[in-house]
Amino acid sequence: MMMKYYGESIYKGIGIGKILFYSNVDYEITKEEDDNVFDVSSEVERFESAKASLLEELDDTYKRAQGQVGTDMAKIFEGHKAILDDPSFTQAIISMIVDDGIKAEYATMEVCNSYCRIFDSMEDENLRAKSMDIRDISMGLIRTLKVSGSHKLTTDEPVILVTSNILPSQVIEIDKSKVLGLVTRAGTARSHASILTKSMRIPSLQGVEISSDWNGRLAILDGFKGLIILDPDQATIDKYTNKLKLKIDKEKEEDLKFLKDFFKRRRDMGGKGMEVFANLNNPSEIDDIIETGVDGIGLFRTEFIYMNRTSIPTEEEQFRIYKMLAESMASKRVVIRTLDIGGDKKPSYLNFDKEDNPALGYRGIRVSLDRIDLFKAQLRAIYRASAYGNLAVLYPMITSLEEVCMIKDIVEEVKEELRYNKVSYRDIDQGIMIETPAAAIISDYLAKEVDFFSIGTNDLTQYTLAIDRENVNLAPLCNSHHEAVLRLIRLVVENSHDEGIRVGICGELAADTELIKDFIEMGLDEISVSVDNLLSVARKISEIESRQ
């Protein structure tokens, strides 16, 4: 039978799905279990090392929070570090270990409980809310001491999570695609967990009389009415499914409005500051891109026109696509990158040889300079389309000055042919990808030969760190903030500006919200990111600009 339970709404959203009942078992630490004979000094050492690893873990949590909810909210975890660093808190635990001869887990629990009792009895709601932060830190310490692994709330299928209480560090670890809603028994609207839940827009209720029997049952969470409906009937499910769809549409609308306002504000300011462009892989995505009001297309990966087909696309076919892009974006810049085929993208109709090291092999500009027929057809298509908008052309996988000179000669031949045939074109900007360490290192020379640089951090990272970008086993080693990569980026920006040419980043790193402030400070003219990342990037830039 359908049952309704009420609580306080934290975020007004709707979630429909099965319940996962989660219990924070780590709290259940008994004195008996831990009250064994032990060496006091090694126990204090064990505690100190747990504290040190938790401090490190909190740095990661802070970074994750920055990406998810922004720097201001992330400060919650700086606060956690401050509590952990506060000698009165940790000293109380150590004294208990030493004076009472009890294990670190139990001492932590005891000190946590006595702190929480004090905070829980306070009048001020903000101070009362602090007790969950103390619990979060204490639980982190106990978890580290017990080496009991992660306290992340993980689930394979999307669920409504029901738990007696939730900690700030658990909220920030939530995978939004897997948690449709959150229901807790405890908590206050001012707690850091609630503030984070709200920022992450997870429909949620608290103060609900939950029960472990709910596990696995279908439920509807209605944050607008502060209600959870257990075992809903079909008519109720249908009604809420409709409401949910409307709500998702509304959220999308709000996000889109944010983006439009963001780009309009920047245009009204006269286009000052670092421009934000979008990367385009599939021409059919162009409408989604235009809708955002974005400043331009910083990278169109033309190889996608060559994939999933059985023959080479003709010049005419390509011309129509480039012209459509130029016209659709009106006066906004569209950077068309010539074929970056080879490596991991090898259409069978081109009959490329098998290579032992494709990433270091026949790809990008090497193919174009070898198959001049293909290259010229593509250049003709781009130059013909240039008459219809604001196009620029970009060449991938450059490693030497000789390649650039060869390209420029070929482009001159193409233009000559067009003039001869009385086909109009514009003298568009020609740029190169800086995505090999060689190109970055000689970027001072290269800058004299081209109109702009676009830094391809995906390949630049792969080649600088000697880590295959396709090898999932190596992913943990791939530090995208590696100083070597950052130094190369700085060098390229300096060299381009010394020569007075434009420079941008179009690799994935451009969307790294932790680095955006650095990119602005470096003086990058442009970042170009995938459409999915436009919102987080725009939010980050707005946040940075609002502080200036």
Nearer to ligand PEP, 230 or 438 (CB): 438
Residue 301's binding partner out of ligand PEP, Mg ion, none, with CB under 5 to 8 Å set by partner kind? ligand PEP
Half-sphere CA count of 371, side-chain side, radius 13 A: 19
Q: Using the rule CB under 6 A, which residue among 435, 436, 446, 527 binds ligand PEP? A: 435
Nearer to ligand PEP, 219 or 510 (CB): 510
Nearer to Mg ion, 359 or 406 (CB): 359
For the record, the structure tokens of 423 come out as: 């086909």
Dmax of the chain from CA atoms? 95
Nearer to ligand PEP, 142 or 404 (CB): 404
Alpha helices in 297-350 (DSSP H): 303-306, 315-328
* Minimum CB–partner distance for residue 533 and ligand PEP (Å): 13
Nearer to ligand PEP, 163 or 457 (CB): 457
Of 116, 192, 405, 497, which one is the catalytic site residue? Answer: 192
- Determine the interface stretch with Mg ion among 226-234, 287-295, 422-430, 453-461 (rule: CB under 5 A): 453-461
* Minimum CB–partner distance for residue 343 and Mg ion (Å): 8
- Determine the interface stretch with Mg ion among 17-25, 262-270, 367-375, 451-459 (rule: CB under 5 A): 451-459
For the record, the structure tokens of 194 come out as: 């609630």
Give Cβ neighbours of residue 344 (< 8 Å, ≥ 6 apart). Answer: 358, 359, 470
x/- binding map, residues 456-495, to Mg ion, per CB under 5 A?
x--x------------------------------------
Phi, psi at residue 355, to the nearest 5°? -125, 150
Question: What is the Cα–Cα distance from 523 to 525, expressed in whole angstroms?
Answer: 6
x/- binding map, residues 379-418, to ligand PEP, per CB under 6 A?
----------------------------------------
Nearer to ligand PEP, 219 or 434 (CB): 434
Contact in structure between 110 and 117 (CB atoms under 8 Å): no
Nearer to ligand PEP, 222 or 340 (CB): 340
SS3 label, residue 99: helix
x/- binding map, residues 408-437, to Mg ion, per CB under 5 A?
---------------------------x--
Q: Using the rule CB under 6 A, which residue among 457, 464, 496, 513 binds ligand PEP? A: 457
Q: Does 281 bind ligand PEP (CB under 6 A)?
A: no
Question: What is the Cα–Cα distance from 309 to 67, expressed in whole angstroms?
Answer: 38
Q: How many residues of this chain interact with ligand PEP, rule: CB under 6 A?
A: 10
x/- binding map, residues 62-101, to Mg ion, per CB under 5 A?
----------------------------------------
- Is 506 catalytic? The answer is yes
- Determine the interface stretch with ligand PEP among 23-31, 68-76, 168-176, 457-465 (rule: CB under 6 A): 457-465
| Segment 500 to 539, residues that bind ligand PEP, using CB under 6 A | 506-507
User: Of the candidates 65, 63, 168, 66, which has an alpha carbon nearest to the alpha carbon of residue 543?
Assistant: 66
Q: How large is the angle between the packed helices 104-120 and 40-69, nearest 10 degrees?
A: 50
> In this structure, which amino acid lies at residue 272?
K
Residue 506's binding partner out of ligand PEP, Mg ion, none, with CB under 5 to 8 Å set by partner kind? ligand PEP
Q: Does 301 bind ligand PEP (CB under 6 A)?
A: yes
Of 112, 116, 151, 506, which one is the catalytic site residue? Answer: 506
Residue 457's binding partner out of ligand PEP, Mg ion, none, with CB under 5 to 8 Å set by partner kind? ligand PEP
> In this structure, which amino acid lies at residue 197?
T
The C-alpha angle 189, 8, 124, rounded to 5 degrees, equals 35
Question: What is the Cα–Cα distance from 88 to 179, expressed in whole angstroms?
Answer: 37
Q: Does 222 bind ligand PEP (CB under 6 A)?
A: no
Nearer to Mg ion, 136 or 459 (CB): 459
Q: Which residues pair with 4 in a beta bridge?
A: 229
Nearer to Mg ion, 131 or 461 (CB): 461
- Determine the interface stretch with ligand PEP among 51-59, 191-199, 318-326, 454-462 (rule: CB under 6 A): 454-462
Half-sphere CA count of 430, side-chain side, radius 13 A: 20
State the residue for tokens 């190169």: 432
Q: Does 303 bind Mg ion (CB under 5 A)?
A: no
Contact in structure between 434 and 395 (CB atoms under 8 Å): no
Residue 339's binding partner out of ligand PEP, Mg ion, none, with CB under 5 to 8 Å set by partner kind? none
Residue 295's binding partner out of Mg ion, ligand PEP, none, with CB under 5 to 8 Å set by partner kind? none
Q: How large is the angle between the packed helices 40-69 and 71-85, nearest 10 degrees?
A: 170
Question: What is the Cα–Cα distance from 421 to 318, expressed in whole angstroms?
Answer: 19
How many helical (H) and strand (E) elements, i.e. helices and strands, does the chain have? 21, 16
State the residue for tokens 């760190």: 465
Q: How large is the angle between the packed helices 372-385 and 401-420, nearest 10 degrees?
A: 60
DSSP assignment string, 100-143: H---HHHHHHHHHHHHHHHHHT-SSHHHHHHHHHHHHHHHHHHH
Length of the chain counted residue by residue: 548
SS3 label, residue 291: helix
Question: What is the Cα–Cα distance from 426 to 18, expressed in whole angstroms?
Answer: 59
Site residues, ligand PEP (CB under 6 A)? 299, 301, 340, 435, 456-459, 506-507
Site residues, Mg ion (CB under 5 A)? 435, 456, 459
Q: Which residues belong to the active site? A: 192, 506
